[in-house]
């Protein structure tokens, strides 16, 4: 290995955990090409790298397979489109926008990950996937319930929501008592699934985080930690859990 290689891979002998990141399948333009692509905000990739993990992009190419999950050490269920309301027995709201390809892939991915106790951090849509997969339901258009659109973000951007965590919870231990959360969501948890506890709320009562109180790492937040480059606490906690998982699996 020459000096250039050693600069690129200063810790090549260290075994970093592999962290899965579901993506969209979208038409995207880069260079002279407009082609179907696996697409994800690069901030997700950055937050995993900065926390010490190796990001693995997971496009929605059918339902997830067990051998895929067997290669991962952790999983971030990423943000995106609304979960199909048919999955919790509700008719679609006129403003509900779904991506069945992601639902098919990610609901199975979550099921397989839980079966092997894979550490999971669920972000925005990801938290909603977790809640529905475990038997809960969603508010399909939050402004109709809380009377404002302050959670909904801006076109291509975020709004700041003050979030208070529940003392003694895992998310409180990681992120602190109060969080200035970057939000971009018009849906939220309605009926909380059995097996989850609500661990953070906005001032209007909206559930902004939920977690499994026992067992392997499963934390979901309704906000977007990937856009806060100065705060990688949640991702570092996931990567630390993934490192433990990797060691136990290989021992």
What sign has the CA pseudo-torsion 63, 66, 70, 71? negative
Predicted TM-score (pTM) of the model is 0.93
* pLDDT at residue 251, as a whole number: 83
Cα–Cα distance measured from residue 187 to residue 23, given in angstroms and rounded to the nearest whole number: 20
The domains of the chain, with CATH numbers, are 12-135+190-199+207-250 (3.40.50.880)
Residue numbers in the chain where pLDDT is lower than 50: 1-10
Rounded to 5 degrees, what are φ and ψ at 36? -65, 135
**Please, which residues bridge with residue 29 across strands?**
34
* Residues 139-163: tens digit of each pLDDT: 999 999 999 999 999 999 999 999 9
CA distance 142 to 161: 14
The label of the residue with tokens 């067990």 reads 66
List, for residues 19-48, the tens digit of each pLDDT value. Answer: 999 999 999 998 999 999 999 999 999 999
Catalytic residues: 124, 224, 226
What is the chain's alpha carbon radius of gyration, rounded to the nearest angstrom? 18
* Residue 230: per-residue pLDDT: 81
Best CA proximity match to 176, nearest among 189, 190, 166, 187:
166
pLDDT of residue 3: 39
């Amino acid at each position: 290995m020459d000096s250039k290689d050693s600069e690129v891979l200063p810790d090549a002998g260290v075994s970093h955990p592999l962290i899965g990141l579901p993506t969209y399948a979208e038409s995207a333009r880069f260079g002279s090409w407009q082609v179907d692509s696996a697409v994800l905000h690069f901030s997700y990739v950055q937050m995993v790298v900065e926390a010490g993990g190796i990001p693995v992009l997971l496009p929605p190419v059918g339902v997830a397979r067990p051998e895929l999950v067997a290669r991962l050490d952790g999983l971030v269920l990423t943000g995106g489109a609304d979960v199909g309301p048919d999955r919790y027995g509700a008719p679609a709201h006129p403003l509900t926008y779904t991506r069945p390809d992601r639902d098919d892939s990610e609901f199975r991915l979550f099921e397989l990950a839980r079966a092997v106790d894979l550490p999971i951090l669920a972000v925005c849509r990801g938290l909603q996937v977790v809640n529905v997969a475990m038997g809960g339901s969603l508010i399909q258009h939050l402004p109709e319930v809380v009377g404002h659109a302050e959670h909904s973000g801006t076109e291509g951007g975020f709004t700041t929501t003050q979030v208070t965590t529940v003392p003694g919870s895992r998310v409180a231990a990681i992120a602190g008592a109060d969080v200035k959360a970057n939000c971009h969501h018009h849906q939220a948890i309605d009926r909380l699934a059995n097996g989850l506890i609500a661990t953070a709320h906005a001032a209007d009562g909206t559930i902004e985080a939920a977690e499994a109180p026992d067992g392997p790492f499963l934390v979901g937040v309704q906000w977007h930690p990937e856009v806060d480059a100065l705060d990688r606490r949640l991702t570092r906690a996931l990567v630390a859990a993934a490192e433990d998982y990797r060691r136990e699996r290989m021992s």
